[in-house]
């Protein structure tokens, strides 16, 4: 069974451990580099790509603006099509609904289409606790599940594994849960896919209940859409007698025509394909064709909190393409596990705090800082989510959330000290004289040199300051400040140029 992110340390600790894993860094650099290249090539073919991004963003923004109305329309359309609609406030409610449906049909297993919403709510673990096995049928999800591993990418959850590792996992684990891998299994991708296909086919043909998410839900027609590349989704959506789809409430789009820009943006941004291989759509129950009992669980789980955040709500436009992960220099080096969530990378750094709230736990509060704010994520996002803007906004919320703490934070103390010094030029001059003295000491004894031969100050004292200086080359203060130089070269009595006049205050 897949592991869990519960109890993961804050990002800096997890990232430090991940950075020490050279195999992981090699796998990540190779995989993200390949996907980046594919995406850039197919996006470059579309002349009006920017217009398409604007259209995609507008569709999602329109839906979010009157989400309550759209959801009621969606519910009415689904019910009219023969589906049973459930509303789930949180993960626990959603898992309970799916488990109850499965139990009402007396099954001890379900087959699953890859779904971020069900991963977010920990559905597999919840079903396992009820004695129901949830079989992942997406190839990468299958690898993660067989290995008892954690997903590290939205689209390619096993991106941290190379094919030799996948072969080992198949040989070691498949037999325990179904058809074993052939003894002569090689690490050729086609051979590995063949072993997975044979292993899964038994499960597809046996399963009475299928579980999916949905990429989009059309309010006007009650149409759910699943976009996938392997055909496993099509099998899960059509073979079982019962289908349960867990759909985040932000997946709604008003009209069928609104799918047009989104279905053009998604494959080019995610897999680097011009068109998606399998796009399945269904609207409730069709007598004699496909599942004859269709449940749709509309999931909140923090989405209305995110919607109430004026800056952060744009994260609900996300179509889970994972382009932002593939271009992120931080994600490429740390991998996805360091983010402690099924949503890693830049989108995870904003979505997790928005769904869970800031100030809830240190791990979530650390995520908005898991970025260099380089802006590459915004450049590639097909629905123009300004991730750096949301990161900065969330950092402010994290800081604000700690203002009432009794114990003053090192950063707050440092800022107060800086404000005291900088508000009076005489104080500033005194501090400059002192730092010049420190600079002379460091220049004399310091071993580390910056480009140009200037001495580096080394680590600052104290836990907060040493963490800051440990990741930066901090130049030693100059031996002589600008004021001192001015006074020396312009004659005695000169105090140097004053930038603050009484009248300016």
Minimum CB distance to ligand SF4, residue 400 (Å):
24
Q: Which of 132, 136, 134 is nearest to 232 (CA)?
A: 136
Minimum CB distance to ligand SF4, residue 54 (Å):
14
**Alpha carbon distance 392, 401 (integer Å):** 14
Q: Pick from 57, 150, 225, 323: which binds ligand SF4 (CB under 6 A)? A: 323
Q: For residue 354, state whether it binds ligand SF4 (rule: CB under 6 A).
A: no
Helix residue spans in 90-217 (DSSP H): 91-104, 116-120, 123-129, 139-147, 163-177, 189-206
| 3 state DSSP class of 84 | strand
Q: For residue 347, state whether it binds ligand SF4 (rule: CB under 6 A).
A: yes
Q: For residue 316, state whether it binds ligand SF4 (rule: CB under 6 A).
A: no
**Nearest 5°: CA angle at 222, between 93 and 247?**
30
Nearer residue to ligand SF4 within complex by CB, 109 or 386: 386
Minimum CB distance to ligand SF4, residue 352 (Å):
13
Choices 122-130, 273-281, 317-325, 331-339; region in contact with ligand SF4 by CB under 6 A: 317-325
Q: Pick from 27, 145, 212, 322: which binds ligand SF4 (CB under 6 A)? A: 322
CB atoms within 10 A of CB 100: 13
Q: For residue 119, state whether it binds ligand SF4 (rule: CB under 6 A).
A: no
Q: At what angle do helices 139-147 and 189-206 cross, to 10 degrees?
A: 90
Nearer residue to ligand SF4 within complex by CB, 61 or 293: 61
Q: For residue 376, state whether it binds ligand SF4 (rule: CB under 6 A).
A: no
Q: Pick from 113, 147, 249, 381: which binds ligand SF4 (CB under 6 A)? A: 381
DSSP secondary structure string for all residues of 388-434? HHHHHHHHHHHHHHTTT-SSPPHHHHHHHHHHHHHT-HHHHHHHHHH
Nearer residue to ligand SF4 within complex by CB, 166 or 315: 315
Strands 278-282 and 223-228, by their bridges, are antiparallel
Nearer residue to ligand SF4 within complex by CB, 77 or 322: 322
Q: Pick from 99, 143, 385, 476: which binds ligand SF4 (CB under 6 A)? A: 385
| Site residue total, ligand SF4 (CB under 6 A) | 14
Nearer residue to ligand SF4 within complex by CB, 81 or 344: 344
Q: For residue 318, state whether it binds ligand SF4 (rule: CB under 6 A).
A: yes
Q: Pick from 209, 383, 442, 457: which binds ligand SF4 (CB under 6 A)? A: 383
**Alpha carbon distance 331, 328 (integer Å):** 5
Nearer residue to ligand SF4 within complex by CB, 155 or 195: 155
Q: For residue 324, state whether it binds ligand SF4 (rule: CB under 6 A).
A: yes
Q: For residue 348, state whether it binds ligand SF4 (rule: CB under 6 A).
A: no
CB atoms within 10 A of CB 264: 19
For ligand SF4, the binding residues in 5-34 under the rule CB under 6 A are: none
Cβ–Cβ < 8 Å for 325, 9 = no
Nearer residue to ligand SF4 within complex by CB, 207 or 321: 321
Nearer residue to ligand SF4 within complex by CB, 5 or 378: 378
Minimum CB distance to ligand SF4, residue 326 (Å):
9
Strands 209-212 and 242-248, by their bridges, are parallel
CB atoms within 10 A of CB 149: 18
Q: For residue 271, state whether it binds ligand SF4 (rule: CB under 6 A).
A: no
Q: Pick from 150, 253, 321, 442: which binds ligand SF4 (CB under 6 A)? A: 321
Instruction: Find the helix or strand (DSSP H, E) in which 430 lies.
Output: helix 425-445
Cβ–Cβ < 8 Å for 385, 397 = no
Choices 100-108, 208-216, 313-321, 467-475; region in contact with ligand SF4 by CB under 6 A: 313-321
Q: For residue 52, state whether it binds ligand SF4 (rule: CB under 6 A).
A: no
Residue 477's contacts (CB-CB under 8 Å, 6 or more residues apart) are 432, 435, 436, 438, 439, 442, 457
Nearer residue to ligand SF4 within complex by CB, 86 or 268: 268
Ramachandran sector of residue 231 (left: φ over 0; alpha: ψ -120 to 50; beta: rest): left
CB atoms within 10 A of CB 72: 12
**Alpha carbon distance 254, 73 (integer Å):** 9
Task: Give the distance from CA 76 to its chain's centroid.
Answer: 32
Q: For residue 382, state whether it binds ligand SF4 (rule: CB under 6 A).
A: yes
| Residues at the contact surface with ligand SF4, assessed by CB under 6 A | 269, 318-324, 347, 380-383, 385
């Amino acid at each position: 069974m897949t592991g869990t992110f519960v109890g993961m340390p804050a990002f800096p600790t997890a990232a430090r451990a991940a950075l020490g894993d050279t195999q992981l860094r090699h796998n990540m650099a190779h995989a993200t580099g390949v996907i980046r290249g594919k995406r850039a090539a197919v996006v470059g073919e579309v002349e009006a790509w920017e217009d398409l991004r604007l259209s995609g963003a507008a569709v999602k923004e329109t839906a979010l603006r009157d989400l309550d109305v759209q959801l009621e329309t969606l519910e009415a359309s689904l019910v009219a099509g023969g589906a049973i609609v459930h509303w789930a406030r949180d993960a626990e409610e959603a898992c309970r609904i799916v488990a109850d449906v499965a139990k009402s049909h007396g099954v001890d297993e379900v087959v699953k289409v890859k779904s971020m919403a069900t991963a977010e709510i920990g559905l597999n673990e919840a079903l396992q606790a009820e004695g129901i096995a949830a079989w992942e049928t997406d190839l990468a999800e299958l690898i993660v599940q067989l290995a008892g591993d954690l997903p590290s990418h939205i689209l390619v959850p096993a991106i941290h594994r190379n094919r030799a590792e996948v072969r080992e996992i198949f040989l070691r684990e498949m037999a325990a849960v179904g058809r074993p891998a052939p003894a002569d299994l090689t690490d050729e991708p086609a051979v590995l896919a063949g072993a997975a296909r044979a292993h899964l086919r038994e499960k597809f043909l046996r399963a009475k209940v299928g579980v999916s998410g949905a990429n989009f839900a059309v309010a006007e027609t009650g149409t759910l859409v699943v976009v996938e590349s392997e055909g496993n989704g099509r099998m899960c959506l059509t073979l079982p007698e019962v289908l349960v789809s867990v759909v985040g409430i932000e997946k709604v789009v008003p009209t069928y025509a609104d799918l047009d820009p989104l279905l053009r943006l998604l494959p080019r941004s995610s897999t680097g394909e011009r068109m998606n291989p399998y796009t399945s759509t269904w609207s409730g129950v069709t007598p004699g064709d496909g599942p004859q009992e269709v449940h749709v669980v509309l999931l909140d789980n923090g989405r209305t909190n995110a919607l109430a955040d004026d800056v952060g709500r744009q994260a609900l436009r996300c179509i889970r393409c994972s382009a932002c992960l593939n271009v992120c220099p931080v994600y490429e080096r740390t991998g996805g596990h360091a983010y402690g969530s099924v949503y890693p990378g830049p989108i995870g750094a904003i979505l997790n705090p928005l769904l869970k709230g800031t100030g809830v736990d240190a791990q979530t509060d650390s995520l908005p800082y898991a970025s260099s704010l380089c802006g590459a994520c915004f450049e590639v996002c097909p629905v123009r989510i300004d991730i750096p803007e949301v990161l900065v906004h969330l950092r402010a919320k994290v800081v604000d959330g700690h203002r009432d703490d009794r114990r003053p934070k090192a950063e707050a103390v440092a800022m107060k000290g800086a404000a005291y010094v900088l508000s009076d030029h005489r104080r500033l001059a005194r501090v400059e004289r002192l730092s010049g003295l420190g600079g002379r000491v460091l220049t004399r004894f310091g071993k580390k040199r910056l480009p140009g031969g200037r001495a580096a100050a080394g680590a600052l004292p104290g836990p907060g300051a040493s963490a800051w200086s440990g990741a930066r080359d901090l130049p030693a203060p100059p031996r002589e400040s600008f004021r001192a130089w001015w006074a020396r070269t312009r004659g005695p009595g000169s105090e140097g140029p004053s930038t603050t006049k009484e009248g300016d205050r």
